[in-house]
Homo-oligomer: A and B are copies of this chain.
Protein backbone atom coordinates (compact mmCIF):
# COMPACT_ATOMS: atom_id res chain seq x y z
CA UNK A 1 0.00 0.00 0.00
CA UNK A 2 1.33 3.37 -1.03
CA UNK A 3 0.77 6.18 1.42
CA UNK A 4 -0.99 9.43 0.55
CA UNK A 5 2.39 11.12 0.64
CA UNK A 6 3.84 8.54 -1.72
CA UNK A 7 6.08 6.92 0.86
CA UNK A 8 6.34 3.21 1.62
CA UNK A 9 5.06 2.01 4.97
CA UNK A 10 8.61 1.63 6.28
CA UNK A 11 10.00 4.82 4.78
CA UNK A 12 11.11 7.89 6.70
CA UNK A 13 10.45 11.36 5.43
CA UNK A 14 13.40 13.28 4.07
CA UNK A 15 15.36 14.39 7.15
CA UNK A 16 17.74 17.35 7.21
CA UNK A 17 19.80 18.59 10.12
CA UNK A 18 21.56 21.98 9.93
CA UNK A 19 24.18 22.30 12.65
CA UNK A 20 25.04 25.63 14.31
CA UNK A 21 21.80 27.15 13.10
CA UNK A 22 22.04 30.09 15.52
CA UNK A 23 25.13 32.04 16.45
CA UNK A 24 24.83 32.39 20.23
CA UNK A 25 23.91 28.97 21.61
CA UNK A 26 26.68 26.57 22.62
CA UNK A 27 24.93 23.99 20.44
CA UNK A 28 22.12 24.45 17.95
CA UNK A 29 20.46 22.67 15.05
CA UNK A 30 17.56 23.10 12.69
CA UNK A 31 15.99 19.70 12.15
CA UNK A 32 13.51 19.03 9.33
CA UNK A 33 11.41 15.87 9.08
CA UNK A 34 9.66 16.68 5.82
CA UNK A 35 7.65 19.82 6.55
CA UNK A 36 8.17 19.60 10.30
CA UNK A 37 10.86 22.09 11.29
CA UNK A 38 12.26 22.56 14.77
CA UNK A 39 15.02 24.84 16.03
CA UNK A 40 16.93 23.10 18.81
CA UNK A 41 19.43 24.96 21.00
CA UNK A 42 21.48 23.85 23.97
CA UNK A 43 22.59 26.54 26.43
CA UNK A 44 25.19 25.91 29.10
CA UNK A 45 24.82 27.68 32.41
CA UNK A 46 26.59 27.39 35.72
CA UNK A 47 24.54 26.23 38.68
CA UNK A 48 22.07 23.40 39.25
CA UNK A 49 18.50 23.22 40.59
CA UNK A 50 18.13 23.25 44.37
CA UNK A 51 17.56 19.49 44.73
CA UNK A 52 21.03 18.83 43.25
CA UNK A 53 23.04 21.52 45.05
CA UNK A 54 26.32 20.38 46.59
CA UNK A 55 26.29 16.94 45.00
CA UNK A 56 28.86 17.63 42.31
CA UNK A 57 26.31 16.71 39.65
CA UNK A 58 24.89 18.45 36.64
CA UNK A 59 21.41 18.70 35.17
CA UNK A 60 19.68 18.92 31.82
CA UNK A 61 16.23 20.39 31.37
CA UNK A 62 14.17 20.89 28.23
CA UNK A 63 11.54 23.34 27.07
CA UNK A 64 9.30 23.05 24.05
CA UNK A 65 7.34 25.69 22.21
CA UNK A 66 5.51 26.25 18.98
CA UNK A 67 5.20 29.46 17.02
CA UNK A 68 1.51 30.41 16.96
CA UNK A 69 1.18 29.82 13.23
CA UNK A 70 3.36 26.70 13.05
CA UNK A 71 0.10 24.89 12.36
CA UNK A 72 -2.79 25.01 9.91
CA UNK A 73 -4.88 27.19 12.18
CA UNK A 74 -3.27 29.67 14.54
CA UNK A 75 -2.87 28.64 18.19
CA UNK A 76 -2.93 31.11 21.02
CA UNK A 77 0.56 32.08 22.19
CA UNK A 78 1.28 30.37 25.51
CA UNK A 79 3.00 33.51 26.86
CA UNK A 80 -0.37 35.24 26.47
CA UNK A 81 -2.46 32.39 27.87
CA UNK A 82 -0.18 32.76 30.88
CA UNK A 83 0.86 29.15 31.04
CA UNK A 84 2.14 26.24 29.03
CA UNK A 85 -0.53 23.75 28.02
CA UNK A 86 -0.66 20.12 29.06
CA UNK A 87 0.59 18.90 25.69
CA UNK A 88 3.59 21.24 25.84
CA UNK A 89 4.54 20.15 29.35
CA UNK A 90 4.16 16.48 28.43
CA UNK A 91 6.45 16.91 25.43
CA UNK A 92 9.15 18.91 27.17
CA UNK A 93 9.25 16.42 30.03
CA UNK A 94 9.75 13.64 27.47
CA UNK A 95 12.55 15.53 25.71
CA UNK A 96 14.30 16.20 29.01
CA UNK A 97 14.07 12.59 30.25
CA UNK A 98 15.28 11.28 26.90
CA UNK A 99 18.35 13.50 26.67
CA UNK A 100 19.29 13.03 30.32
CA UNK A 101 19.47 9.32 29.49
CA UNK A 102 22.28 10.12 27.04
CA UNK A 103 24.55 11.67 29.66
CA UNK A 104 26.37 10.65 32.77
CA UNK A 105 25.15 13.50 34.94
CA UNK A 106 27.69 12.78 37.67
CA UNK A 107 30.40 14.07 35.33
CA UNK A 108 28.64 17.38 34.60
CA UNK A 109 29.83 19.26 37.65
CA UNK A 110 27.38 21.99 38.76
CA UNK A 111 26.35 22.83 35.22
CA UNK A 112 22.82 22.95 33.79
CA UNK A 113 22.13 22.34 30.12
CA UNK A 114 18.98 24.08 28.85
CA UNK A 115 17.53 22.44 25.76
CA UNK A 116 15.05 24.59 23.82
CA UNK A 117 13.02 23.04 21.03
CA UNK A 118 10.91 25.55 19.16
CA UNK A 119 8.69 24.36 16.36
CA UNK A 120 8.73 26.69 13.37
CA UNK A 121 6.45 24.51 11.28
CA UNK A 122 4.51 21.44 12.41
CA UNK A 123 3.56 18.52 10.20
CA UNK A 124 3.48 15.64 12.68
CA UNK A 125 6.28 14.15 14.77
CA UNK A 126 7.44 17.38 16.39
CA UNK A 127 8.40 15.70 19.65
CA UNK A 128 10.46 12.96 18.01
CA UNK A 129 12.12 15.48 15.71
CA UNK A 130 12.90 17.64 18.74
CA UNK A 131 14.66 14.81 20.56
CA UNK A 132 16.60 13.81 17.46
CA UNK A 133 17.68 17.36 16.62
CA UNK A 134 18.47 18.35 20.20
CA UNK A 135 20.77 15.33 20.45
CA UNK A 136 22.92 16.81 17.68
CA UNK A 137 22.93 20.24 19.31
CA UNK A 138 23.87 18.58 22.59
CA UNK A 139 26.92 16.92 21.08
CA UNK A 140 28.07 20.29 19.74
CA UNK A 141 27.49 21.96 23.10
CA UNK A 142 29.59 19.29 24.81
CA UNK A 143 32.39 20.00 22.33
CA UNK A 144 32.26 23.70 23.18
CA UNK A 145 32.37 22.88 26.89
CA UNK A 146 35.37 20.65 26.34
CA UNK A 147 37.20 23.33 24.36
CA UNK A 148 36.55 25.75 27.20
CA UNK A 149 38.01 23.23 29.64
CA UNK A 150 34.70 22.55 31.39
CA UNK A 151 34.86 18.79 30.91
CA UNK A 152 37.73 16.64 32.01
CA UNK A 153 36.70 13.35 30.50
CA UNK A 154 35.35 11.98 27.26
CA UNK A 155 32.82 9.68 28.76
CA UNK A 156 30.11 12.16 29.72
CA UNK A 157 28.19 11.04 26.65
CA UNK A 158 27.03 7.46 27.17
CA UNK A 159 25.45 6.94 23.76
CA UNK A 160 23.46 8.80 21.16
CA UNK A 161 19.67 9.06 21.38
CA UNK A 162 17.16 9.28 18.58
CA UNK A 163 13.42 9.10 18.29
CA UNK A 164 10.72 8.42 15.74
CA UNK A 165 6.97 7.96 15.69
CA UNK A 166 5.18 4.95 14.26
CA UNK A 167 1.50 4.13 14.06
CA UNK A 168 -1.22 1.76 12.94
CA UNK A 169 -2.90 3.31 9.93
CA UNK A 170 -5.78 1.42 8.24
CA UNK A 171 -4.62 -1.70 10.06
CA UNK A 172 -1.01 -1.49 8.92
CA UNK A 173 2.09 -0.33 10.78
CA UNK A 174 3.56 2.86 9.31
CA UNK A 175 6.82 4.66 9.98
CA UNK A 176 7.17 8.38 10.71
CA UNK A 177 3.58 9.62 10.37
CA UNK A 178 2.94 13.09 9.02
CA UNK A 179 0.12 15.24 10.37
CA UNK A 180 -2.54 13.94 8.00
CA UNK A 181 -1.74 10.31 8.75
CA UNK A 182 -1.40 10.98 12.47
CA UNK A 183 -4.86 12.56 12.57
CA UNK A 184 -6.52 9.42 11.31
CA UNK A 185 -4.17 6.73 12.67
CA UNK A 186 -5.73 4.15 14.98
CA UNK A 187 -2.66 4.07 17.20
CA UNK A 188 0.26 6.43 17.67
CA UNK A 189 3.52 5.23 19.22
CA UNK A 190 6.52 7.39 20.04
CA UNK A 191 9.78 5.55 20.52
CA UNK A 192 13.09 6.81 21.91
CA UNK A 193 16.13 4.55 21.60
CA UNK A 194 19.83 4.55 22.32
CA UNK A 195 22.43 4.02 19.63
CA UNK A 196 23.22 0.78 21.47
CA UNK A 197 19.78 -0.55 20.52
CA UNK A 198 17.93 -0.24 23.81
CA UNK A 199 14.72 1.59 24.61
CA UNK A 200 14.56 4.78 26.63
CA UNK A 201 10.90 5.52 26.25
CA UNK A 202 7.84 4.14 24.49
CA UNK A 203 4.49 5.89 24.55
CA UNK A 204 1.66 4.26 22.70
CA UNK A 205 -1.87 5.58 22.55
CA UNK A 206 -4.89 3.99 20.93
CA UNK A 207 -6.53 7.05 19.43
CA UNK A 208 -9.41 5.22 17.80
CA UNK A 209 -9.07 1.43 18.08
CA UNK A 210 -7.34 -0.49 20.90
CA UNK A 211 -4.22 -2.28 19.70
CA UNK A 212 -2.93 -5.82 20.10
CA UNK A 213 0.43 -7.08 21.28
CA UNK A 214 1.23 -8.11 17.71
CA UNK A 215 0.57 -4.58 16.48
CA UNK A 216 2.88 -3.24 19.16
CA UNK A 217 5.69 -5.55 18.15
CA UNK A 218 5.23 -4.73 14.48
CA UNK A 219 5.36 -1.03 15.24
CA UNK A 220 8.46 -1.43 17.41
CA UNK A 221 10.25 -3.31 14.62
CA UNK A 222 9.47 -0.49 12.25
CA UNK A 223 10.64 2.07 14.78
CA UNK A 224 13.93 0.24 15.25
CA UNK A 225 14.49 0.27 11.51
CA UNK A 226 13.79 4.00 11.27
CA UNK A 227 15.89 4.93 14.27
CA UNK A 228 18.84 2.94 12.90
CA UNK A 229 18.69 5.09 9.76
CA UNK A 230 18.42 8.24 11.84
CA UNK A 231 21.51 7.33 13.84
CA UNK A 232 23.42 7.00 10.56
CA UNK A 233 22.26 10.43 9.56
CA UNK A 234 23.20 11.98 12.93
CA UNK A 235 26.65 10.44 12.66
CA UNK A 236 27.16 11.63 9.11
CA UNK A 237 26.17 15.16 10.05
CA UNK A 238 28.38 15.20 13.11
CA UNK A 239 31.33 13.81 11.13
CA UNK A 240 31.50 16.93 8.96
Question: Is B93 a contact of A79 with CB atoms below 8 Å?
Answer: no
Q: Which residues of B contact A124 (CB under 8 A)?
A: none
Question: Is B220 a contact of A213 with CB atoms below 8 Å?
Answer: yes
> Within the complex, which residue of B72, B82, B97, B210 is in contact with A83, where a contact is CB–CB below 8 Å?
B82
**What per-residue 1/0 map shows which CB atoms of A60-91 lie under 8 Å from chain B?**
00010101111110100111111111111110
Kindly state whether residue A154 has any CB partner on chain B within 8 Å: no
A58 to chain B, nearest CB (A): 16
Question: Is B69 a contact of A63 with CB atoms below 8 Å?
Answer: no
Question: Is A69 a contact of B24 with CB atoms below 8 Å?
Answer: yes
Q: How far is the CA of A28 from the CA of B67 in the complex (A)?
A: 12
Which bucket holds chain A's interface residue count? 35 or more
Kindly state whether residue A196 has any CB partner on chain B within 8 Å: yes
Helix, strand, loop or mixed for chain A's interface?
mixed
Q: How far is the CA of A216 from the CA of B77 in the complex (A)?
A: 37
> Within the complex, which residue of B23, B67, B81, B220 is in contact with A118, where a contact is CB–CB below 8 Å?
B67
Q: Which residues of B contact A199 (CB under 8 A)?
A: 204, 206, 210-213, 216
Q: Which residues of B contact A205 (CB under 8 A)?
A: 97, 200-201
Q: How far is the CA of A217 from the CA of B214 in the complex (A)?
A: 11
**What per-residue 1/0 map shows which CB atoms of A108-123 lie under 8 Å from chain B?**
0000001010101100
Among the 9-residue stretches A11-19, A38-46, A169-177, the one with 4 or more Cβ atoms under 8 Å from chain B is A38-46
Kindly state whether residue A183 has any CB partner on chain B within 8 Å: no
Q: A72-B24, A82-B82 are in contact. Are A65 and B77 (CB under 8 A)?
A: yes
Kindly state whether residue A22 has any CB partner on chain B within 8 Å: yes
Q: How far is the CA of A89 from the CA of B79 in the complex (A)?
A: 11
Q: How far is the CA of A206 from the CA of B118 in the complex (A)?
A: 25
Q: Which residues of B contact A24 (CB under 8 A)?
A: 69-72, 121
Q: Which residues of B contact A204 (CB under 8 A)?
A: 199, 201-203
A-B contact pairs, 22 of them (CB 8 A): A22-B69, A22-B121, A23-B121, A24-B72, A41-B68, A41-B69, A43-B68, A45-B74, A63-B77, A65-B79, A68-B114, A68-B116, A74-B114, A77-B116, A79-B84, A86-B90, A101-B206, A196-B210, A198-B212, A201-B204, A202-B216, A203-B203
